[in-house]
Amino acid sequence: MSSVSGIHPRVVINCDGAARGNPGPAGAGAVVTDPDGTVLAEIAEGLGETTNNVAEYTAAIRGLEAAQRLGAQDVLLRSDSQLMINQMTGRYRVRTAHLQPLHRQVRDLVRGFRRVEFEHVPRERNTAADALANQGVDDWLAGLDR
């Protein structure tokens, strides 16, 4: 992860998960910016073998953790995962048992901010986070070859 130091009270997180196969080799990616688009942190993490939905939630968690480290108080979290966004806003219930702890972890992180909004964005508006998620997959797979 790379990040810019300092306090940034308002941030935007674009996050994405990737799994090649479902389940399969997976990664989480997130880009944290200030409202003007200046990149404050980037995360690309390999997750091993898991599902796309686990990768999506993990990307949100890593983005929120980075926002916390940056001193953010107000967060706009964007994702192209309709499932995750609708579960976080309460439109959908979290029925899948293995997603419930991840959902709770996101909710717990959200409590540490003054305000968090969730926004669904089309895939084409989430390309940087997608690239980082795929970089996480590639890095994990490369580690297997060593």
d(CA 52, CA 136): 13
Helices 52-69/127-144 angle, 10° precision:
110
Query: pLDDT confidence of 7, banded at 50, 70, 90?
Result: confident
pLDDT tens digits, residue range 83-120? 999 999 999 999 999 999 999 999 999 999 999 999 99
7-11, 59-63, 75-79, 87-91 — which is least confidently predicted?
Answer: 7-11
d(CA 38, CA 26): 27
pTM: 0.94
d(CA 34, CA 13): 9
Averaged pLDDT for residues 13-23: 96
